[in-house]
Structure 1
Amino acid sequence: MNILLKAVTIYHPESEFHLQQQHIFIESGTITYIGPETREAEQVVEASGLCVSLGWVDMFAFAGEPGLEHKEDLESVAAAAAAGGFTELLCLPNVQPVVQTKGAVNFIKSKSAYLPVTLHPAAAITIDAEGKDLTEMIDLHRAGAIAFTDGLKPLQGADVLLKALQYVQMFNGLLLNKPEHTRLTNHGQMHEGEVSTRLGMKGMPAIAEEVMVTRDLQLLTYTGGRLHFSAISTAAAVDAIRKAKAQGLQVTCDVASYQAFFTDETILPFDTNYKVAPPFRSQADAEAIKEGLRDGTIDVLMSAHLPHDPEAKNLEFDLAEFGITNLETAFAVANTSLTGALSTEAIIEKFALNPRKILGLPASGLAVGEQANLTLFNPTKTWTPEVNKTKSKSKNSPFYGRSLTGAVVGIVHKGQMVLN
């Protein structure tokens, strides 16, 4: 099939056409022309305000399969990702069984081979993600795991993280860790502060994240290697990572695209669709996140997509699971909440380019002669997510019925085009 992307504004700083409006012609999945001349095509994509970038990569998504298909499966997560503009996902290992064998890695790779979205398996750092004994990371790396993380389970043992940092240096591997001291957040429901006190809910203190960031950076200084912090949320964490980067440590980090959208004062009390971990924090933390995104301390915006079935969310607040679905709204949520803080160009960099650099993925797909790996979007279009139109199996989102600015038009990847 031949495709013409007509009069699209190109967002790709490595391209000679960056921020220019051009036509892109795709034949059998390969870009054969970029320039001012229009061409006949079997399918023409044309819309006012249409933009294109290198395909977006999500670094923190829960796929559900195997074992938890009632929440999400590989087909539904790929459909949700495509609707949200992502052509590639890093899938968390917290399924049943945990992704910790070559067979589990190969299962994800083979089952997603024909999907329009590439699913990259992240393997567990420790057996069953229990934070004790290391997995066979060299074998898992050879099998195709592109990063290592215990995902939703933060590493608590300093000795385990130290050994893992030393171990992955044998193949220049990447460790991801969600910084949280779980003994300090045990039974916590929301950010610890005035609002939690007023509501009579046990809080999750910012210090629980901050002490772990500090500890992990000290270990990284001692061992060397590469470390990525997943889902940071506090001002002190941003500041510590900023200083570590200035010292030359190989540290990167990401933040959920929704983290600065709400604060503990703006969420709807006791609505479990606002129950996330790390929680929505103070206004000062939200401003620090925006500054960290502006100055490059925070490298990546990610979805933190964590789908749940109704039985896990339609409960009393203290019994409900943490997490929201966000693959389909990740860009719009970031674009809406970061207006005035980040340009469209900077937002796209944190969705498309920086994740590729960190994960070692090729930054190809938007040049003549390359297999098209593209995201189509309109940064100024306003739309409203609807629960009955979601591609995800789960519906746990606070953004249904809320007006957002920034719409995904579709993706082109692996010779397939998916349009919203």
Structure 2
Amino acid sequence: MNILLKSARILDDQNKSLHGKVRDIWIKNGVIEKIATSVTPDSRTKVIELPNLHISPGWIDSSVSFGEPGYEERETLAHGARVAALSGFTDIILNPNTNPVPDTSGDIVFVKKTAAGKGAHVHPLGTLTRLSAGTDLAEMYDMQKAGAVAFYDFKSPVTHANLLKIALQYAQGFGGLVFSFPMDASIAATGTVNEGDTSTKLGLRGIPALAEEIQIARDLSILEYTGGKLHIPTISTARAVSLISEAKKKGLDVSCSVAIHNLFHTDEVLHEYDTHFKVMPPLRTAKDREALRKGVRNGVIDMVTSDHMPIDIEEKRVEFDRAAYGSLGLESFFVILNSIFGPELAVEILTRGRQRFSLESPVLKEGARAGLSLFNPEGEYFISKEGLLSTSKNSMYIGKKGKGRVYGSVTEHQVYLHKA
């Protein structure tokens, strides 16, 4: 792969000598050969010139779901990895919500081999417990040796406090990262949306903010006792931000993420009972949304994620209470994030998180392996169903407007660009 990115403006606040500069970037055989004001390539090099082309070190998404194995009709690993690459991502953390779930080293090897070279680099999570049943720990050490970057029973809270204690203690022996979904199931019960004015008006069963906050408080207490590394995925309430901020000030090794939809929407969008807005954790209030945005800006929230989850149309085109949770997010991620925070902070957010998963960060310098995201941060972008790349089409962003557009990405394997 030999390409020349022509007249690209670089956004990389870790590289002060290049940040904000317009440069030609020549990539030969997957390695950055030259960065200069002007480069004359050889005849075997493909020249890429795009309107208002901006580049940055490759983006990462810390919560992505596909379907394979078991739910290939939602999304396959190969196609999903390509969708991620065309959406600007060079790396994704893959959730373990398949059938069967990946709870052995062999399962992790299958995922990595199937997705290798198909698009964005896929870094699988293994389950925390066998079969994600919440009873016995899975083969955590063996899975990490096989390539699992952390351990998570996807969207399932760790009900038994002692199990989380043992997991955190055990994982310290090999530097493992433990996920704990922030929800007390006994308080959430059969709720489907945020408990508040909207749920009361619509007659839908609510999930109180307390369900998230009491679980986080418990988990942080256990972490303070055991030590180890804890990640709390997709928080959604103002109090959750405060609890994690306090824990970090104590020196606890905790990180967290928020889903992009909890930064964009509130539960007021539910007035038409549109199941595309049914997500877990649920959309919350404007007060929660503002606290979450502040948490992203000040670094209390470590990562923003698409929480991308393809779902069959049959599982969404039913009554709200019976509909499956989840929305697409990869394709819309940048334009929504850019509309909230602007391009400089959006890119900084999109490149956060690799260190938490012990992954190498792409570097924009000569001699480094290529790992770049390509985009235009300007202009209005209308999100349509026809523009979605995923096999499933369950996006809550259809009909919404974002800012900018994504051209694609470059890895050492390939260049992935949208068709003109």
TM-score range, shorter chain: over 0.9
CA-atom RMSD in angstroms: 1.3
Deviation at 1:49, TM superposition (A): 2.4
The answer (yes or no) to whether the contact 2:155–2:280 under 8 Å persists in 1 is no
In structure 1, the residue matched to 2:116 is 113
Q: 79, 82, 100: which is aligned to 2:82?
A: 79
Between the two proteins, the alignment pairs up a number of residues equal to 415
What SS does the aligned partner of 1:379 have?
Answer: strand
The answer (yes or no) to whether the contact 1:146–1:359 under 8 Å persists in 2 is yes
Cα 1:204/1:275, change in 2 over 3 Å: same
Residue 20 of structure 1 aligns with an amino acid whose one-letter code is: K
Deviation at 1:199, TM superposition (A): 0.8
Residues 1:372 and 2:362 are matched in the alignment: no
Q: What CA distance in whole angstroms lies between the structure 2 residues aligned with 1:196 and 1:268?
A: 9
1:58-112 Cα offsets, whole Å, 9 max, x none, are 1111121101111111022112211221111111112111101111000011111
In structure 2, the residue matched to 1:396 is 394
In structure 1, the residue matched to 2:95 is 92
What SS does the aligned partner of 1:40 have?
Answer: coil
Deviation at 1:414, TM superposition (A): 2.8
1:94-151 Cα offsets, whole Å, 9 max, x none, are 2111101111000011111221211111100101111110012111111111111112
Q: 238, 256, 259: which is aligned to 2:259?
A: 256
Q: 1:131-150 to 2 correspondence within 5 Å? A: 131-150=134-153
Residues 1:55 and 2:67 are matched in the alignment: no
Q: 295, 300, 306: which is aligned to 2:298?
A: 295
In structure 1, the residue matched to 2:31 is 30
In structure 2, the residue matched to 1:229 is 232
Residue 210 of structure 2 aligns with an amino acid whose one-letter code is: I
What SS does the aligned partner of 2:320 have?
Answer: coil
Residue 19 of structure 2 aligns with an amino acid whose one-letter code is: H
In structure 1, the residue matched to 2:275 is 272
1:176-208 Cα offsets, whole Å, 9 max, x none, are 222011222222121100111011111111111
Residues 1:356 and 2:354 are matched in the alignment: yes
In structure 2, the residue matched to 1:345 is 344
Over 4 Å off, 4+ runs: none
What SS does the aligned partner of 1:90 have?
Answer: strand
The alignment-based identity, stated in percent, is: 40
Q: What CA distance in whole angstroms lies between the structure 2 residues aligned with 1:208 and 1:12?
A: 39
Deviation at 1:26, TM superposition (A): 0.6
Q: What CA distance in whole angstroms lies between the structure 2 residues aligned with 1:81 and 1:409?
A: 12
In structure 1, the residue matched to 2:180 is 177
Deviation at 1:268, TM superposition (A): 4.3
Deviation at 1:225, TM superposition (A): 0.8
Q: What CA distance in whole angstroms lies between the structure 1 residues aligned with 2:314 and 2:384?
A: 21
The answer (yes or no) to whether the contact 2:78–2:119 under 8 Å persists in 1 is no
Residue 365 of structure 2 aligns with an amino acid whose one-letter code is: A
Residue 5 of structure 2 aligns with an amino acid whose one-letter code is: L
Deviation at 1:343, TM superposition (A): 4.2
1:294-320 Cα offsets, whole Å, 9 max, x none, are 111011111101110011100011110
Deviation at 1:388, TM superposition (A): 2.5
1:22-59 Cα offsets, whole Å, 9 max, x none, are 11111111101112123236322223322111111111
In structure 2, the residue matched to 1:19 is 20
1:359-408 Cα offsets, whole Å, 9 max, x none, are 11111242211110110111223222221332211111121222211311
The answer (yes or no) to whether the contact 2:258–2:301 under 8 Å persists in 1 is yes
Q: What CA distance in whole angstroms lies between the structure 1 residues aligned with 2:364 and 2:298?
A: 26
Q: 394, 407, 410: which is aligned to 1:412?
A: 410
TM-score of the aligned structures, taking structure 2 as reference length:
0.96
Residue 57 of structure 1 aligns with an amino acid whose one-letter code is: I
